Amino acid sequence: MRHARIAASVAALSTLALPLAACGGGGGSSSNDAFAAHLKDRGPITYVQGKVNDNATHEVIARWNAEHPDEKVTLKEQTAAADQQHDDLVRNFDAKNADYDVVSVDLVWTAEFAAKGYLQPLKGDLAIDTNGLLDSAVKGAQYNGTQYAAPMTSDGGMLYYRSDLVKTPPKTWDELFADCAIAKQAHIDCYAGQFNKYEGLTVNASEAINGAGGSIVGTDGKTPTVDSPEATKGLEVLAKAYQDGDIPKQAITYQEEEGRQSFESGKLLFLRNWPYVYSLASGEASSKVKGKFDVAPLPGFDGVGASTLGGHNAAISAYSDHKATAIDFLKYLESEEAQSLFLGKGSLAPIRTEVYKDPALVKKYPYLPTLLTSIENAVPRPITPFYQAVTKAVQDNAYAAIKGDKTSAQAVKDMAAAIKAASSGQ
Amino acid sequence: MTRKESGSTAPAPARRRLSRRRARGNSLDPHETRRALLLVAPALAVLALVIGYPVARAIWMSFQADQHVENGFFVQGGFAGLDNYKHWLLQRCGDVACPPGNTGSSFWEVVGITLFFTVVTVTIELVLGFWFATIMNGKFRGRSLVRAAVLIPWAIPTAVTAKLWYFIFSYDGIANTLFGAHVVWFGDKWAARSAIIVSDVWKTTPFMALLILAGLQLISEDVYEAAKVDGASAWQRFWAITVPLVKPAVVVALLFRTLDVLRMFDLPYIMTGGGAGDGNDTTTLSILVINESRNGFNSAAALSTLTFLLVFGVAFLFVKFLGANATGAEPKVKAKR
Amino acid sequence: MTTTSRWRSARTYLGVALIVVWGLAPFYWMVVTAFRDLQFTFDPTPWPTHVTLDNFRTVFDTSRNHFGRSLLNSVFIGGVVTAIGLVVGVFTAYAMARLRFPGKNAILAVILAASMFPGVALVTPLFQLFRNIGWYGSYQAMIIPDISFVLPLTIYTLTAFFREMPWELEEAARIDGATKRQAFTKIMLPLAAPGVVTTAILAFIAAWNEFLIASQLSNDKSQPVTVAIASFNGTQPHVEPYTAVMAAGTVVTIPLILMVLAFQRRIVDGLTAGGVKG
């Protein structure tokens, strides 16, 4: 009896060795087999996204469900942190999980997921109509010339400025930093964006680099192009401003919220941030800048700068069992109805040009024309399957350059070397 | 009175049994062995499933290359030999040294940071924990309430603790406000490290204190009284009685805290994301593992394996110098006597 | 009362005061923030201002998150982990402290080694393993890993305590006719109460704090508080609901404090019942 029990537990242990060979390696190949399956199948699906933080998503899904009682969409919410959402998607795709049918994919993960074979290519029966959609948003959902996702929401940076102190908003970096004299007189800080070492720094650094005519990665998604005089010039703007004090020293720890906080408490003249700040700064009881601020397109070198594109795409999992339903749901997410809801109830930037021109919505969100300018001039962050490594290369080196630990020229050289190492599988 | 001496005053029947065994040479009782293995089996089974399997898998994966892109799609990397280990230990990226901004370039720096956090936080926690435990062991009104209050920091989930301290140490936060300071806590290398150390010490000192307190409770007042009669000063009593008798509990607490800090993740990840200073000055090994797992699972598996080996090495030195006896291993001292 | 003893008690109370301040000052700030209006999140006034209960309403708003249910889940998971972890731990520790068998040191080393692998690297393999056997969203998918996380510590602390105990009492009970099991459970275990209760608290809190595994393997119905709190979200992108997180942090300490207070009695009982010590 006792021997039997020992033997049983030993047997249980030894079976653990078996899955070793099967599960090791992590990640699938291009998984083309799954691309051909379930293309015409319909039925209930699950839509996965990070924790809903708007008032629109639930309503969008409810309206779909009312019209499609046999093909209902169930919402699965992930946690609130983007990193965890990314890792959760990778794990579920790796497990070939058919429970995730439609997923919300951050713009910057699209290439990685496509290259890993997780996303169903939107071709043939599954093609989407991209007429009337913002060109930059459509491109942001492509990889290697194939549409892998449907743009769902967009986002672009804007320059918030104190309209009570600055009469005409600066169009160029030179004009902006010239206006820092006004900040000095008012005893407030001049300019801040997101300079903490996280994804926001990649956004801000690439805006500076792109605005100066530089770029980070070539169109093949792996050859670094960042080691250039233009990129150096762009990065140098931020580095010099930080060392001159035009960007306050604490801004090196700023993410979106810290900058908003500083601006709302009246301690900051210019702030680069996303559209969400607008309604908070004009509505929050604690805001000291109500009616004293406005928005302008981001500054550049000769005219409007290049915002980094944000937003989310909706994609179909290669392992979905109901792809015909999934593509209909994608199309619904892109419809004018859903897009107006996203903006009207959720303040999410739409991907349809005409929604930006809806007079009722412009009245509600006065920043819409500026945002449209920003997004139309926007440049996507590098579209590369090695995005996580590329963004680290940009962050580490841009951070060092801004803090003055290395020159901007050295920083872009190191960025290029790190991107090269990453794209060769290191 | 030291630990070894207390061994010699082992209860008479136990001593008889020990001597009986010695008389039979070092032979073991097969019934006792079987019973022991049965008692140990459930624990080993759970550990094999939850820890053993992932460890074995990681070791296997660490010898595979990460996927690379061919024709736009990722393909399996195949056998890599020691390449993943070279990436970390030698900081080589293919044929060149890993450039700044690549995870490989920060490996040794990160090892240093992790060890630094470990030594500093565990030392502070030991001193504070001992002090807390001594006070809580005294008799005073509201003792049980105080014991509960002390546990509060530890009862708050780490993610919330990290958010709380992030909030406290933000530039416009309460720490700067209270002290009228303008410290950029999460920008400067040492300020950021201090902030993390303060939060970790705050959170886990209760753990140390509670374990030490339980050890203190095993000591009878009579021992102290006897020593007092013999004229021992408070300081002498502390070193001659308290320390040796609570040593087993303390060593266990120290050991597990050390293992935990060596694998610390949430606090620095949430507070600084591993940043500050030169950009990686608060990155711990676990943070590096997470960052790397987003580049490739196999090189991350090699890093996990290296972390495991490092922690194993530290634990080994620990047990060697602080005494296997105190950590629960077979007491050789007793057996030899 | 002599001057020395008065001095000593004064010193004790000073120490107690310092400890309480140390433990409670940041907690105080958490509570202040928890009661503060979301729009004034970053107000650094050290005393309560803009007081509101809204954050607690947000926390328990079932249309936005599952905090109430997750609280029960955490209590349940923590309770089961503690109970099983303790039983398994007591078995092992008894064998380690009292029995002689070959390979004991090796087994102890293996058990300790289980606390040496980075926890962040366990998530993916366990996720795959448990998904494959259909455990996603089940309680055991969290309970079993949690048990394995608490076992090394449980075994080591219990072993250390068992070694210090007066085992001659067990022999005495056996001479009086008790079986070995009776002698252990009726005499020795109550004596070990301080150690066992301490270990129980350690195990419970470890399970209570676990996040990584739970975040991957729980669903809306089975998620523990750590995951529920990580899912808190503002009504805008980028806006973190700090005040609600702090409110939730305040709420989750309450069951812990109650549990510790309840266990305190056990510690004291164990001590007074013991009689023979040192």
Tell me the chain A residues in contact with residue B48 when contact means C-beta distances shorter than 8 Å: 13, 16
Tens of pLDDT along C38-95?
888 778 888 888 888 888 888 888 777 788 899 999 999 999 999 999 999 999 998 9
Asked whether the predicted pLDDT for residue A68 surpasses 90, the reply is: yes
Region C242-260 average pLDDT: 85
Are A24 and B61 in contact (CB < 8 Å)? yes
Question: What pLDDT score was predicted for residue C169?
Answer: 82
Instruction: Give the one of B61, B64, B101 whose C-beta lies nearest to A393's C-beta.
Output: B101
**Residue A29: pLDDT over 50:** no
The pLDDT of B169-179, averaged and rounded, is 86
pLDDT top residue among C275 and C83? C83
> How many domains does chain B contain in total?
2
- Domain hosting B50: range is 1-61
A280–chain C Cβ distance below 8 A for any pair: yes
> What's residue A229's pLDDT?
93
| Chain A residues touching B68 at Cβ < 8 A | 424-425
User: Can you tell me the mean pLDDT for B123-149?
Assistant: 84
Ordered by where they begin, the domains of chain A are 32-148+310-376 (3.40.190.10), 158-308+383-423 (3.40.190.10)
Q: How confident is the model at residue C264 (pLDDT cuts 50, 70, 90)?
A: low
Residue A412's pLDDT is 93
pLDDT of residue C275: 37
Q: Is C33 on the interface with B (CB under 8 A)?
A: yes
Residues B197, B137, single domain; the answer is: yes
The distance of A283 to chain C (nearest Cα, Å) reads 10
Q: Report the C-alpha gap between B224 and A360 in whole angstroms.
A: 82
Looking at residue C277, its pLDDT comes to: 38
Q: CB-CB: which of C125, C160, C205 is closest to B249? A: C160
B303: contact with A, CB 8 A cutoff: no
Residue with tokens 């001292």: B333
pLDDT of residue C278: 33
Per CB-CB distance under 8 Å, the chain C contacts of B260 are: 115
3-state SS, one letter per residue, for C13-55: HHHHHHHHHHHHHHHHHHHHHHCECHHHCCCCCCCCCCECCHH
CB C40 to CB A347 under 8 A? no
pLDDT band at A121 (very low <50, low <70, confident <90, very high): very high
Is the pLDDT assigned to residue A193 strictly greater than 90? yes
Residue type, position B72, single letter: G
B49 and A CB contact within 8 Å: yes
Q: Considering only alpha carbons, which residue of chain C is nearest residue B292?
A: C121
C43 touching A (Cβ < 8 Å): yes
Amino acid at residue number A70: D
For residue C92, the chain B residues in CB contact (below 8 A) are 39-40, 42-43
Looking at the predicted structure, is the pLDDT value of residue B113 above 50? yes
Which pLDDT belongs to residue A13?
43
Of C39, C129, C238, the CB nearest to A284: C39
Query: Which of A146, B33, A293 lies closest to C101, judged by CA?
Result: B33
**Residue from B137, B156, B330 whose CB has the most chain C CBs within 10 Å, to mutate:** B156
Confidence of residue A206 (pLDDT cuts 50, 70, 90): very high
| Contact between C211 and B266 using a beta-carbon 8 Å cutoff | yes
Task: Give the per-residue pLDDT at B8.
Answer: 37
* Beta-carbon-side half-sphere exposure of residue A370 (alpha carbons within 13 Å): 20
The average pLDDT across A282-290 equals: 87
Taking contacts as CB-CB distances below 8 angstroms, the residues of chain C near A91 are: 123-124, 127-128, 216
Q: Which residues of C touch A347 (CB under 8 A)?
A: 236
- Over the stretch B313-323, which tens digit does the pLDDT of each residue have? 888 888 878 76
Chains that touch B (3 or more CB pairs under 8 A): A, C
Binding partners of C (≥3 Cβ pairs within 8 A) = A, B
pLDDT at position A18: 40
Strands A45-49 and A73-77: parallel
> In this complex, do A55 and C124 lie within 8 Å of one another by their Cβ atoms?
no
Neighbours of C34 (CB within 10 A): 23
State yes or no: pLDDT of B117 exceeds 80: yes
Residue A297 is given by DSSP the state P
CB within 8 Å: C231 and A256: no
Cα–Cα distances in Å, from C93 out to A190, B217, C104, C151, C161? 63, 19, 11, 10, 9
Q: What is the pLDDT of residue B29?
A: 81
Q: Which of residues 186-205 of C touch B (CB under 8 A)?
A: 194-195, 197-198, 201-202, 205
List the CATH number of the domain containing B301: 1.10.3720.10
Percent of chain C with pLDDT over 70: 93
Contact at CB, B218 and C195, closer than 8 angstroms: yes
Rg (CA), chain B: 25
CA distance C272 to B62: 54
Distance from CA of A385 to the nearest CA of B (A): 8
CA-to-CA distance for B223 and A268, rounded, in angstroms? Answer: 66
Of the candidates A86, A117, A421, which has its C-beta nearest B102's C-beta? A421
Is the pLDDT reported for residue A221 higher than 50? Answer: yes
Q: Please answer whether residues C91 and B40 qualify as being in contact, where contact means their C-beta atoms are separated by less than 8 angstroms.
A: yes
- Tell me the per-residue pLDDT of B298-312, one tens digit each, with 9 for 90 and over: 888 888 889 988 988
User: C12 contacts in B (CB within 8 Å)?
Assistant: 135, 138, 140
Worst-scoring range by mean pLDDT, A94-108, A228-242, B267-281, C95-109? B267-281
- Nearest CB neighbour to C277, from listed B220, B259, B311: B220
A421–B98 CB contact, under 8 Å? yes
Average the pLDDT over each of A148-152, A162-166, A192-196, C37-41 and give the range with the smallest value. C37-41
For helices C193-209 and C67-98, angle between their N-to-C axes, nearest 10 degrees: 140
* Mean pLDDT taken over chain C: 83
B294 and B223 in a common domain: yes
pLDDT at C3: 66
Listed by number, the residues of chain B in 207-266 with a beta carbon closer than 8 Å to a beta carbon of chain C are 207, 210-211, 213-215, 217-220, 222-223, 245, 248-249, 251-252, 255-256, 259-260, 262-263, 265-266
pLDDT of residue B26: 56
- Give domain C65-231's CATH superfamily: MetI-like (1.10.3720.10)
Does residue B98 lie in a domain region?
no
The per-residue DSSP string of A123-182 comes to: -GGG----TTB-HHHHHTTEETTEE-SEEEEEE--EEEEETTT-SS--SBHHHHHHTHHH
Averaged over C102-113, what is the pLDDT?
A: 87
- Is B305 in a helix, a strand, or coil? helix
User: In this prediction, what percent of chain A has a pLDDT beyond 70?
Assistant: 92
Torsion on CA atoms A425, C123, B45, A95, rounded to nearest 10: -80
The predicted-structure confidence for C112-144, as pLDDT tens digits, reads as follows 888 888 888 888 888 888 888 888 888 999 999
> DSSP alpha helices (H): ranges in chain B?
3-8, 12-23, 30-47, 53-61, 83-89, 107-137, 143-155, 158-168, 174-178, 189-216, 221-229, 234-237, 243-262, 266-271, 285-293, 297-322, 332-336
Task: Choose from A297-311, B4-18, B225-239, C227-241 the range with maximum mean pLDDT.
Answer: A297-311
- What confidence tier does C267 reach under pLDDT thresholds 50, 70, 90? low
Residue B149 lies in a domain: yes
Residue C198: which of B214, B311, B324 has the nearest Cβ? Answer: B214
pLDDT digits (tens, 9 = 90+) for C160-189: 888 877 788 888 888 888 887 888 888 877
Q: Are residues B195 and B292 in the same domain?
A: yes
Residues B257-304 pLDDT 10s: 999 899 888 888 888 877 787 778 888 888 888 888 888 888 888 888
Mean pLDDT for chain B overall: 80
B241 vs chain A: nearest CA distance in angstroms? 43
**Every domain of chain C and the residues it spans:** 65-231
Q: What is the pLDDT of residue A2?
A: 46
What mean pLDDT value characterizes chain A?
86
**The predicted structure's pLDDT at residue B336:** 35
How large is the average pLDDT for residues B37-60? 88
- pLDDT of amino acid C134: 84
Q: Is a pLDDT exceeding 50 seen at residue A246?
A: yes
Contacts B185 to A, Cβ<8 Å? 253
Q: Is the pLDDT of residue A17 over 80?
A: no
